[in-house]
Chain A
Amino acid sequence: MEHIIENLRQFWQFTGFANFEIGYLIMIIIGCLFIFLAIKFEWEPMLLVPIGFGILIGNIPLFAGLNVGVYEEGSVLNILYQGVQRGFYPPLIFLGIGAMTDFSALIANPKLLLIGAAAQFGIFGAYAISLALGFDAAQAGAIGIIGGADGPTAIFLSSRLAPTLMGAIAVSAYSYMALVPVIQPPIMRLLTTKKERLIHMKPPRPVSPTEKKLFPIIGFLLTAFIVPSGIPLLGMLFFGNLLKESGVTKRLANTASGPLVDIVTILIGVTVGASTQASQFLRWESVKIFIIGACSFVIATFAGVLFVKFFNLFLKEGNKINPLIGNSGVSAVPDAARVSNNVGLEYDPKNYLLMHAMGPNVAGVIGSAVAAGMLLGFLG
């Protein structure tokens, strides 16, 4: 009998109830909130559902030494987490993004590239704020990349510069990407006049298949020569796009943009979520990261919209750009472009901006990858 009681006592020690702390409960509530937002409002469900459930997985109170936790070397979760830690999931996701992105809008109107560059001010604004709040330069660089509004880039860079902050940075980046429809419209309305919002842009010209094939090759060579540290992201992005546009690798493009990106999205989402263990995540630093993340999105939106207004000063009547597409320079594809379109339709139901906004939106992906390469070069 004593033996059975002793075993039961040991069993109790292994349970989550015996190891419970209030921090775990808070994180479980956050995880459930993510799942709720994804299902109820369809806010980035492909990301928030895996991350939300990952948070639940990572916050079951564990008896140390069971070798099941994400931070316990050799555990299954730890092995899956290597893709995040060593940074090989993000380039695979970029491969998929490249294979599913149509750069036609950008090729047809290449000046939209510059909007994608301007919106990267969000990254460096957040970097400056992070330094002011006491983070060291490497941590500040990793936090700053939240302003690029690009989850894989944020994970890639933070795994290199500040692995201990990666959970908070990734969750912050994905959360604000989901909140793009909430954060951006008030800023867009604030910075534009009614006349500007009604600007109708010229329809883009048709883009030839040759141009589409050349874009990934030239785009990669140019950006990689300038910022070689961005090669993992840029290389896979443009390679994926070449698979799509070459016309002779349909099966590979389908795999990259379908099953492969889905598998990696599941793995990255769950493991990033699981890495937010209460002991690692519930810190004052995480709160600061969330505040800086919000600022970075605001700065990026400000910079994008104001840049278009500035750019319009040099453009002839009839060639002007609707500043409502300035917000889409952040690379939350395609949500930011959708926001441009929806706000534009509020003021003129016939003014469809989606196609124009996709230009700066995909330019933002390139711009944030280049910016990440710069940060890695300076701080890595």
Chain B
Amino acid sequence: MKHLKLFLAVVGLTLCFTAGAQSQDAMRLNEYLVINTDDFQDDFGQQNAWIELFNSSYGTVDIAGCFLSDDPDNLKKYAIPGGDVLTKIKPRQHVIFWADNQPYRGTFHVSFDLAGAKEIIFTKGDGKTIIDRIPVKHDLGENVSFGRAEDGIGSVDGSGEGWNVQPRTSPSTNNALIDKAAKPDRMKAIDPYGWILALTAMSVVFLALILLYFIFKAIGNANIKAGKKRSAAAAGTDVKASAYGETPGEVYAAIAMAMHLYQQDDEGHDEESFVVTLHHTDRTYSPWSSKIYTLRQTPSLNKRR
């Protein structure tokens, strides 16, 4: 029973951690268009208002079960259905929802439109935790969208920080063009001689090993103390008088003698001719290792002195 409880606790903790690993918290409302007369068309060839979501994480996020709404009093207005592989949003990718109030048209058609909406709210699967919200601006004009200046960056509390009127609509793609050099090129530009990386990385290597040093120093000390207590208890002597942790001199004498003998030419029998050395060979039987199927022995290197 005790083991079962422990097992369940471990499983529970693991599930908690894995549940959080692919977090829906990383999803962001990224851009929206209210009046669409000459912009992006849906699969039915219709132009409607749209809402763009962006996965700001570096892992795939499944948004099935999350909610979109235009009403703070009814966060569960549109539940994103499960069972659609398209709700798994790849890292740093976008997805468009059509605000056409025609949810029967598919997963990405929500049950409200933006004509009268005050704000757009994206809520977690629990139906209570608001992940992101943004007020809807109705003075944008036709085919003018409102979005984040840089994808995924800015407020999530509805203050609109980091949002602006977009110079052009960019459904399902980045709001701002990414014009950054590759990571190694940036690194070389910042650190042309390599000293910054060297110092940083060496600090981390030292940090990791110093931490290990402290931990194992502490564990070692605790172990020695415990050992001293045990040996003192067994011998019935004072703790301080016992010499736990020091190998008896006889052991070193025996090891040294063995190594000395091994180093002497006349005592090293292992590779000497005409001396039979018996080695115990432990071989699990298998047709692959059977002697019956072995045509010849594997040649071994014999050194002659």
- List A residues at the B interface (Cβ < 8 Å): 39, 106-108, 110-111, 113-114, 116-117, 120-121, 123-125, 127-128, 130-132, 136-138, 140-141, 161, 203, 205-208, 210-211, 214-215, 218-219, 222-223, 226-227, 350, 352, 363, 366-367, 370-371, 374-375, 378-380
Contact = CB atoms under 8 A, between A and B. Distances in A.
Nearest to A108: B220
B201 A110 contact: no
Contacts, number: 134
Contact of A210 (B198, B223, B224): B223
B212 A380 contact: no
Given A110-B213, A136-B184, A203-B252, A226 B223 contact: no
Nearest to A127: B194
Interface of B: 183-185, 187-188, 191-195, 197-198, 200-202, 204-213, 215-217, 219-220, 223-224, 227, 245-247, 252, 256, 259, 301
Contacts of A141: 184
A225 to B, nearest CB: 9
Contacts of B247: 203, 205-206
Contacts of B184: 136-138, 141, 161, 379
Most B-side CB within 10 Å, residue of A110, A208, A226, A375: A110
Contacts of B209: 113-114, 116-117, 363, 366-367, 370
Contacts of A108: 220
A137 B223 contact: no
Contacts of A366: 208-209, 212
Given A127-B197, A211-B223, A371 B205 contact: yes
B211 to A, nearest CB: 6
B188 A378 contact: no
A378 B197 contact: yes
Nearest to A106: B216
Contact of A124 (B202, B213, B219, B220): B202
B201 A128 contact: no
Contacts of A116: 209
B256 A370 contact: no
Nearest to B189: A137
16 contacts: A106-B216, A107-B220, A114-B213, A116-B209, A128-B195, A136-B185, A140-B194, A161-B184, A203-B247, A205-B224, A211-B219, A218-B215, A366-B212, A367-B208, A374-B200, A380-B183
CB-CB nearest 3 A-B residue pairs:
A124-B198, A128-B194, A137-B184
Given A107-B216, A371-B205, A380-B183, A124 B194 contact: yes
A130 B197 CA distance: 13
Contacts of A214: 219
Given A113-B210, A138-B184, A378-B183, 13 more contacts: A107-B216, A110-B212, A114-B206, A120-B201, A120-B205, A127-B194, A131-B194, A137-B185, A138-B183, A203-B246, A205-B247, A227-B204, A366-B208
Contact of A113 (B185, B195, B213): B213
Contacts of B194: 124, 127-128, 130-131, 140
Contacts of B188: 131, 136-137
B43 to A, nearest CB: 36
A186 to B, nearest CB: 24
A127 B195 CA distance: 9
A141 B188 CA distance: 11
Contacts of B219: 211, 214
Contacts of B224: 205
B220 A205 contact: yes
A218 B202 contact: no
B26 to A, nearest CB: 17
A346 to B, nearest CB: 13
Contacts of B195: 128
Contact of B207 (A107, A127, A132, A226): A226
Contacts of A137: 184-185, 187-188, 191
Contacts of A140: 194
A205 B248 CA distance: 11
A270 to B, nearest CB: 18
B252 to A, nearest CB: 7
B246 A205 contact: yes
Contacts of A107: 216, 220
Nearest to A135: B188
Contact of A226 (B183, B197, B204, B256): B204
Nearest to B186: A137
Nearest to B216: A110
B193 A131 contact: yes
Contacts of A223: 208, 212
A113 B217 CA distance: 11
B40 to A, nearest CB: 35
Nearest to B206: A117
B223 A374 contact: no
Contacts of A123: 201
Contacts of A125: 198
B187 A121 contact: no
Most A-side CB within 10 Å, residue of B193, B216, B247: B216
Nearest to B227: A208
A110 B214 CA distance: 8
Nearest to A128: B194
Given A110-B220, A117-B206, A211-B220, A222 B212 contact: yes
A378 B187 contact: yes
Contact of B208 (A136, A138, A370): A370
A215 B216 contact: yes
Contacts of B193: 128, 131-132
A207 B224 CA distance: 9
Contact of B204 (A114, A121, A370): A370
B187 A222 contact: no
Nearest to B198: A124
A352 B216 contact: no
